[in-house]
Amino acid sequence: MSTFNAPKGTYDLLPPDSATFLAVREAIARPLRNSGYGYIETPGFENVELFARGVGESTDIVTKEMYAFETKGGDRLALRPEGTASVLRAALEANLHKAGNLPVKLWYSGSYYRYERPQKGRYRHFSQVGAEAIGAEDPALDAELIILADQAYRSLGLRDFRILLNSLGDKECRPVYRAALQDFLRGLDLDEETLRRAEINPLRVLDDKRPDVQKQLTDAPILRDYLCDACKTYHEEVRELIGAAGVVFEDDARLVRGLDYYTRTTFEFVHDGLGAQSAVGGGGRYDGLSEMIGGPALPSVGWALGVDRTVLALRAEGVELPLPTVTSVYAVPLGEEARRVLFAKVTELRKLGIATDFAYGGKGLKGAMKNANRSGARYAIVAGERDLAEGVVQLKDMESGDQAPVGLNEIVAELETRLG
């Protein structure tokens, strides 16, 4: 037992569970790679200002949950609490938007950090796969991203998730709604911090999960009633496109996302099998973010899906993913000469792409066969001095228990045929 434990609110990803996480990441990435999205990786930390400006000064993420620190050189940095601001910063810095092909389509996968109260499905370090389409204002792009996320979840075998959809308006109509909402909130019995939040960003109050706040919000004005014609038309087209693609969604007039940069289309993927932390992912359009962080006007849309939450959703539905075999062949040498000969065969099999392992540490037959069993290998190859003298190895089928000698020179071809 080590004297060190993983920090509070974090977890280690270990085999065999880690194979499920890898399969989830791969399933989310596959439809993206298939639709023109290129992979991007950004640093685990950024300038604090990027998140303060991009995510929003008044958000819980920036005020309460960010891991911010000062470096020895006096720079103020923060561990990334989300992916969009970093991806946009990297795209702007590399001038990807000037290469002529808009939108710039990027996908990413990595760890994010928020200082939250740990509970099931909510950690201080969590894993996401995300996608961003930068530099085009087109309802088809919003629809494409929602359809791709839906496709990824269905390819994993998930069925009980719901897609919630809303529009947050734009810089024309949102200020009118904002003023109406502020007027309404000022008349409520709210604590000082919530009232202060209502002055900076009233939409955040709608997202307040406390029952006593929610109860007072029943008659709050609804954004949908304030949308300008352009936003209404845009939203209608997004709805039509995803509906035509056979994607089922629910209109949720109260849906707001926890980040300040969203405009127009906003959506969330929820799974009712997860209890309080029901959101498995979400996203939306963020047309003003580029300007907020000092770039040109680049209307964009994106989402992030939680890998941890998706794994919990799979468990809640009892979905077992078909995972690739870790080991197909296990080699058991008995004696020095056999070690040398079988080790060479193991290397040959691996070069052919056959997952092969070896009994290391000079174990006896009984101990080595136990290891072969635990490895999940379909076949074991065993060789002792007598076998080698006869120019054969023993090939054992671990499922049926049948064992037969195979020529030393034929064994690789024989296993290749059997494992096809």
DSSP string, 170-230: -TTTHHHHHHHHHHHHHTS---HHHHHHHHH-THHHHT---HHHHHHTTT---GGGG--HH
Q: Please say if the pLDDT value at position 260 is more than 70.
A: no
Average pLDDT rounded to a whole number, residues 377-384:
97
411 neighbors 342 (Cβ within 8 angstroms): no
Average pLDDT rounded to a whole number, residues 125-135:
97
119 neighbors 277 (Cβ within 8 angstroms): yes
Integer CA distances (angstroms), 192 to 185, 256, 373, 417, in order: 12, 22, 63, 73
Query: In DSSP terms, which residues pair with 406 in a beta bridge?
Result: 393
Q: Please say if the pLDDT value at position 1 is more than 70.
A: no
Which residues have a Cβ under 8 Å from the Cβ of 130 and sit 6 or more positions away? 83, 84, 87, 107, 108, 109, 283, 302, 303, 304, 305
- The architecture of the domain spanning 329-419 is 3-Layer(aba) Sandwich (3.40)
What burial letters (b/e) apply to 349-363, b meaning 16+ CB within 10 Å?
Answer: beeeebbbbbbeeee
Domain positions in the chain: 17-173+227-316, 329-419
Share of the chain above pLDDT 90, in %: 73
| Cis, bond preceding 16 (omega within 30 deg of 0) | yes
Per-residue model confidence (pLDDT) at position 259: 62
Mean pLDDT of the chain: 92
More confident residue, 199 or 78: 78
Q: Please say if the pLDDT value at position 385 is more than 80.
A: yes
Confidence of residue 100 (pLDDT cuts 50, 70, 90): confident
Per-residue model confidence (pLDDT) at position 178: 86
The residue to which tokens 């974090």 are assigned: 10
Q: Please say if the pLDDT value at position 258 is more than 70.
A: no
The residue to which tokens 């090939």 are assigned: 395
Per-residue model confidence (pLDDT) at position 206: 81
Q: Please say if the pLDDT value at position 417 is more than 90.
A: yes
| Cis, bond preceding 103 (omega within 30 deg of 0) | yes
Q: pTM for the complete prediction?
A: 0.90
Identify the top-confidence range among 169-178, 217-226, 253-262, 378-387. 378-387
Average pLDDT rounded to a whole number, residues 306-330:
93
Among the listed ranges 30-39, 56-65, 149-158, 249-258, which one has the minimum average pLDDT value? Answer: 56-65
What burial letters (b/e) apply to 270-300, b meaning 16+ CB within 10 Å?
Answer: bbebbeebbbbbbbbbbbbbbebbebeebbb
Average pLDDT rounded to a whole number, residues 186-212:
83
Confidence of residue 362 (pLDDT cuts 50, 70, 90): confident
Per-residue model confidence (pLDDT) at position 58: 62
Query: In DSSP terms, which residues pair with 70 in a beta bridge?
Result: 76
Domain 17-173+227-316 is found in CATH 3.30.930.10? yes
